[in-house]
Amino acid sequence: MIDWVHPSAFLILGALFIPFFKGRVQQIYIVILPALALLTVMLMSPGVYGVVKFLGFELIFGRVDKLSLAFAFVFSSAALIGATYALHVKDNSQHIAAFVYAGSSLGATFAGDLLTFFTFWELMAFASVWLIWSRRVKASIEAGYRYLLVHAVGGLVLLAGILIFYATTGSIRFEGMQQVNGAAFYLILIGFMLNAAVPPLHAWLTDAYPEATVTGAVFLSAFTTKTAVYALTRAYPGTELLIWMGTIMALYGVVFAMLSNDIRRLLGYHIISQVGFMVAAVGMGSALAINGAVAHAFAHILYKGLLFMGAGAVLQMTGQSKLSDLGGLYRYMPVTFVLYMIGALSISAFPLFSGFVSKSMEISAAAEMHLPQIWLLLTMASVGTFLCLGLKIPYYTFFGKDCGARPTEPPRNMLVAMGMAAFLCVFIGVYPAWLYDKLPNVVEYHSYTPTHIIWALQILLFTAMGFFMLRKKLGGLRKITLDIDWFYRKGAGVFMQFVYRVVAPIENWFIQVYRHVFRGNLVLGAKGLWLDKNVIDGAVNAIAAGVVRGAGAMRQMQTGQLQQYALVMVGSLLILSLYSLF
């Protein structure tokens, strides 16, 4: 009897059979796969399953506890909603990529050891890049390569951290890292932070997500950053550094979102901002804060998906995604507008919507730990969230000046998917106990107190007042904003110019001098020979002797254990395969 089924099996293996079906049957199959994954997660009970011995390692595919279950639940829901949204797409490779991506994120969530975790983590990067490339325009292809390049580097940093972790502790268990010191601690942390898009390691997100396909961006918004939040929650709770990193991140996203003209780029910056709240809460590490991070990730996946679906619907039906080119769509896409607004009010933490019951836990945790600056700055970031997503996007897209476009509502499956997400946003907001029940820690928390409701309404409605006073000045500008990606998009070019114009001439000059001074002078040449024989050769010989001695020492260090060699081999293979991509 099988006591445990890995939900990724439905998504990753099931996805491979998508091309064998056609038409309506294929559509049903595409919905059934994530539904089965969700069902398995719902029926799962805590425990450790799927332990496999491999080359002397104990691989754990199914560490099921409240933390992994909460994330797995929302990941599989997001896969179901995303699949529904993408039902009209006739591109098998995109469906497969989306499911492999979602399945790997579930795989990473349930992984109990770092090797399994790493494998799924990397699979996510490789599967997700197809959702960017599938748009099949030049900008997407290029952005996809940059995305992959950054994630390959991040993966290598993480792998290096895991190898050092294994070398120093002899374990590959994926647990809290508090006991680990030095390089392994920081390398793994950097690997996680890159996927969580913590500045300055964030630019891959806002560079690539706006270039993804309409349906691909919905999947992208859900998995990569939130799997990283899961990993941070698992391994780095209470790491103080993260409190400030997360708070800066929350404001960074808000400021850059204000400067974005492309709706999906703006939404991307707000992923960074929202994940900042979660990272800060993980850094606080108290029971309430951890609950807040998980609840916020849960709610965020649903409303951010909804917002990306709304933006995608506008892009698909009008062909435009820039605020400066949009306006007046409320007459033609009223249902899309209302569903989008449910997402916007949720992310802005309006009472009765999901953000209110999740984000407020994190802010309360900051108060409980008496962190006044963090409290004030996170509250300020919330203002920016409502300003951009609840006021700016809807006003300039659906109202404002008429842009002349006459779109219709998107296909029904897209509206249904948005409806599913919208329902959950309101449901969680009205009945938070359902969500609180899934959180890892047992904490008594009430979000609906009179002071809290009035506090939230004041913050939000006075922001709205400010916006309507300045609404003529806050529209999208036909501009782009420089961000960290400048360094690898333009900076590399500047560096090459420096090499051509400055370094190469200097080197050339040295060659000229060498020719005239050394080659032209035989006496010097004889001396040069002596120099070569006695000094340079001597040095070479000495180094060789050193190497022989060093190798002897190295031999002492080697353990002769097969599993260690195997780990190095697997690692090298991974590095090689990554390297071969470029």
Partner 1 sequence: MNIGKILEKLVNNAKTLQRIGFAVLALIVVIDFFLPRHHSEFFWDEIPGFSAAYGLVSFTLIVVVSKTLGHYWLGRSEDYYND
User: Considering the complex, what minimum distance in angstroms separates the CB of residue 576 from partner 1?
Assistant: 31
482 near partner 1, rule: CB under 8 A: yes
C-alpha 500/C-alpha 253 separation (Å) is 37
User: Considering the complex, what minimum distance in angstroms separates the CB of residue 458 from partner 1?
Assistant: 4
481 near partner 1, rule: CB under 8 A: yes
**Residues near 362 by Cβ (< 8 Å), separated by ≥ 6?**
277, 278, 280, 281, 284, 289, 292, 293, 296, 378
Residue found under tokens 């804060």? 289
489 near partner 1, rule: CB under 8 A: yes
User: Considering the complex, what minimum distance in angstroms separates the CB of residue 234 from partner 1?
Assistant: 29
- x/- mask, partner 1, residues 392-411, rule CB under 8 A, reads -------x------------
Backbone conformation region of residue 404, classed left if phi is above 0, alpha if psi is from -120 to 50, else beta: left
Window of 4-12, 181-189, 326-334, 347-355 that interacts with partner 1 by CB under 8 A: 326-334
Question: Helix 23-43 to helix 92-110 angle, to the nearest 10 degrees?
Answer: 10
457 near partner 1, rule: CB under 8 A: yes
Tokens of residue 100, six digits: 């492999």
The correct pick among 128, 224, 225, 463 for binding partner 1 (CB under 8 A) is: 463
The correct pick among 20, 431, 462, 514 for binding partner 1 (CB under 8 A) is: 462
Site residues (CB under 8 A) for partner 1, limited to 519-558: none
Report DSSP state, residue 322.
Answer: B
337 near partner 1, rule: CB under 8 A: yes
61 near partner 1, rule: CB under 8 A: no
User: Considering the complex, what minimum distance in angstroms separates the CB of residue 201 from partner 1?
Assistant: 18
User: Considering the complex, what minimum distance in angstroms separates the CB of residue 480 from partner 1?
Assistant: 5
State which amino acid sits at residue 427: F
**Residues near 461 by Cβ (< 8 Å), separated by ≥ 6?**
none
User: Considering the complex, what minimum distance in angstroms separates the CB of residue 491 from partner 1?
Assistant: 12
Window of 27-35, 228-236, 420-428, 482-490 that interacts with partner 1 by CB under 8 A: 482-490
**Residues near 566 by Cβ (< 8 Å), separated by ≥ 6?**
55, 56
479 near partner 1, rule: CB under 8 A: yes
Toward partner 1, which CB reaches closer, 166 or 445?
Answer: 445
- Cα 186 to Cα 150, 177, 205, 227: the distances in Å are 18, 10, 22, 18
User: Considering the complex, what minimum distance in angstroms separates the CB of residue 474 from partner 1?
Assistant: 7
C-alpha 229/C-alpha 234 separation (Å) is 8
**Residues near 254 by Cβ (< 8 Å), separated by ≥ 6?**
269, 270, 273, 380, 381, 384, 385, 387, 388
Toward partner 1, which CB reaches closer, 58 or 142?
Answer: 142
Toward partner 1, which CB reaches closer, 73 or 455?
Answer: 455
User: Considering the complex, what minimum distance in angstroms separates the CB of residue 260 from partner 1?
Assistant: 10
User: Considering the complex, what minimum distance in angstroms separates the CB of residue 284 from partner 1?
Assistant: 14
59: phi then psi, degrees, rounded to nearest 5? -90, 130
Contact 578, 152 (CB under 8 A): yes
Residue 322: strand pairing partners = 262
How many CB atoms are located within 10 Å of the residue 41 CB?
23
258 near partner 1, rule: CB under 8 A: yes
Q: Is 250 exposed, middle or buried (0-12, 13-18, 19+ CB in 10 A)?
A: buried
C-alpha 391/C-alpha 441 separation (Å) is 35
445: phi then psi, degrees, rounded to nearest 5? -145, 130
286 near partner 1, rule: CB under 8 A: no
C-alpha 215/C-alpha 279 separation (Å) is 27
C-alpha 573/C-alpha 570 separation (Å) is 5
Window of 11-19, 20-28, 67-75, 462-470 that interacts with partner 1 by CB under 8 A: 462-470
178 near partner 1, rule: CB under 8 A: no
Window of 13-21, 101-109, 225-233, 368-376 that interacts with partner 1 by CB under 8 A: 368-376
The correct pick among 13, 35, 259, 574 for binding partner 1 (CB under 8 A) is: 259
472 near partner 1, rule: CB under 8 A: no
The correct pick among 16, 137, 454, 569 for binding partner 1 (CB under 8 A) is: 454
370 near partner 1, rule: CB under 8 A: yes
384 near partner 1, rule: CB under 8 A: yes
490 near partner 1, rule: CB under 8 A: yes
Residue found under tokens 């913050």? 459
Site residues (CB under 8 A) for partner 1, limited to 238-257: 254-256
* Residues within the interface to partner 1 (CB under 8 A): 254-256, 258-259, 330-331, 334-335, 337-338, 367-368, 370, 372, 375-376, 379-380, 383-384, 387, 399, 450-451, 454-468, 470, 474, 477-483, 489-490
